Copies of this chain bind each other. A is one copy, B any other.
Amino acid sequence: MKQAQVLVEVTRGALVENYHRGHVAVVNSEGKLLYSAGDPYHRTYWRSSAKPFQALPVVESGAVDHYRITARELALFCASHNGEAMHTETVLEIFKKIGQDHSLLQCGMHMPYHKETAQSMSEAGEKPTSLHSNCSGKHSGMLALATQRGFDTSNYLDLEHPVQQLILDYIAYFTKYPREQIAIGIDGCGVPVHGLPIYNMSLAYARLVNPQGMEEDRASACRRVTAAMMEHPEMVGGTDRFCTDLMRVSRGQLVGKAGAAGVYCVGIPAQGIGITVKCEDGASRGRDPVVVEILQQLGYLDQEQVKALEKHHRPQNINHRKEKCGEVIPVVRLHQDA
């Protein structure tokens, strides 16, 4: 098993003060490992980077068409959103369409990621609701599927629930990883999360963006999910969020989705390639710069695009006096495997 590699250095003055280590796997849709860093077979949870695959059965089942879910709403099924008004209002709209009450949401609650929204809520003495949970879009997708198929909507989080079992089928299909070997944990929002090698996560993204050879309903569902994310990146994250900025800047050239605990996945449709980054310490401070750096090194982002993503690529270490103390520098070096 290969060791985690240093992916990012965080400087202060003349010293490197912190290091972020991890693993990278770049895989094409035929399963060829093209590039790696650290251990491309490192096993971890997919977390929210699995969201496009949790949305796919909602499309392929016909629920999205049945309820006239728009591409913008579909993008929210795949989101770890900011809890801005555009997100919470869209979740409410989805519940109206599926004829259910949003009190069915069991995702728990936390203050919006979006600082200004959180601040104005605090100032108004407002408490967060489940609508503000970054996962409320994903949960509304699960509930759309459960409602359309007539499944119990009260226990849709349980691993045994048909919605979660269907999702497990899709994950095994796209990752080509044995269903029974997928480790199961509980996510921040209560649904099952899926533990598997990052190689297989990359393979799944490669297949998602290049669904050639799949039966047409599935291939079409893939195209709808990725198109929705790329056309409505503001729904996938929100103001100032990396996923949103990355997909905006790359204008339809890639799909990117963050997961918690240091995971990030990218799919490049033109090349049929999937990329997974895992920072072993779980720090998003390390993760986002590495993603931009790899996309630049592999030629999937040009200089102008990288410049537009500078605050995500080379964040500055600014102190409480607004002085620059240091920098976050991605130092990842990819090994060419094939």
**CB contact between A108 and one of B45, B184, B319 (< 8 Å): that residue:** B319
Contacts of A321 in B (CB 8 A): 106-108, 189-190
Contacts of A315 in B (CB 8 A): none
Within 8 A of B (CB), among A245-262: 261-262
CB distance from A200 to the nearest CB of B (A): 14
Q: Report if A193 contacts B (CB, 8 A).
A: yes
Q: Tell me whether B133 and A323 are in contact (CB under 8 A).
A: no
From A4, A10, A188, residue with most partner B Cβ within 10 Å: A188
Given A123-B125, A283-B281, A319:B15 Cβ within 8 A: no
Among residues of B, the one whose C-beta sits closest to the C-beta of A324 is: B186
CB distance from A229 to the nearest CB of B (A): 23
**CB contact between A319 and one of B123, B187, B325 (< 8 Å): that residue:** B187
Q: Tell me whether B185 and A282 are in contact (CB under 8 A).
A: no
Given A12-B45, A45-B12, A123-B123, A18:B320 Cβ within 8 A: no
Interface 1/0 per residue, A1-32 and B, CB below 8 Å: 00010000010111101111100000000000
Q: Tell me whether A188 and B108 are in contact (CB under 8 A).
A: no
Given A20-B281, A21-B21, A185:B14 Cβ within 8 A: yes
Among residues of B, the one whose C-beta sits closest to the C-beta of A263 is: B17
Within 8 A of B (CB), among A302-338: 319-323, 325-326
How many of these chains are in the complex? 2
Contacts of A73 in B (CB 8 A): none
Interface 1/0 per residue, A106-134 and B, CB below 8 Å: 11111000000001001101000000010
Q: Tell me whether B186 and A280 are in contact (CB under 8 A).
A: no
**CB contact between A19 and one of B17, B109, B281, B286 (< 8 Å): that residue:** B281
Q: Report if A195 contacts B (CB, 8 A).
A: yes
Q: Tell me whether B262 and A185 are in contact (CB under 8 A).
A: no
Q: Report if A223 contacts B (CB, 8 A).
A: no
Contacts of A106 in B (CB 8 A): 321
Q: Tell me whether B189 and A319 are in contact (CB under 8 A).
A: yes
Q: Report if A44 contacts B (CB, 8 A).
A: yes
Q: Tell me whether B13 and A320 are in contact (CB under 8 A).
A: no
- Considering the complex of A and B, which 8 residue pairs feature the smallest CB-CB distances, nearest first? A13-B185, A108-B320, A122-B122, A281-B281, A108-B321, A18-B282, A12-B185, A190-B321
Given contacts A12-B261, A18-B280, A21-B21, 16 further A-B contacts (CB under 8 A): A13-B185, A13-B186, A14-B183, A14-B184, A15-B44, A15-B185, A18-B282, A19-B281, A20-B281, A110-B320, A119-B122, A187-B325, A189-B321, A190-B319, A190-B320, A283-B283
25 sample A-B contacts, Cβ–Cβ < 8 Å, listed by A number: A12-B45, A12-B185, A12-B193, A13-B185, A13-B186, A14-B184, A14-B185, A19-B281, A20-B281, A21-B281, A106-B321, A107-B321, A108-B320, A109-B320, A123-B123, A185-B325, A185-B326, A186-B323, A186-B325, A188-B319, A188-B325, A189-B319, A189-B320, A190-B323, A281-B281
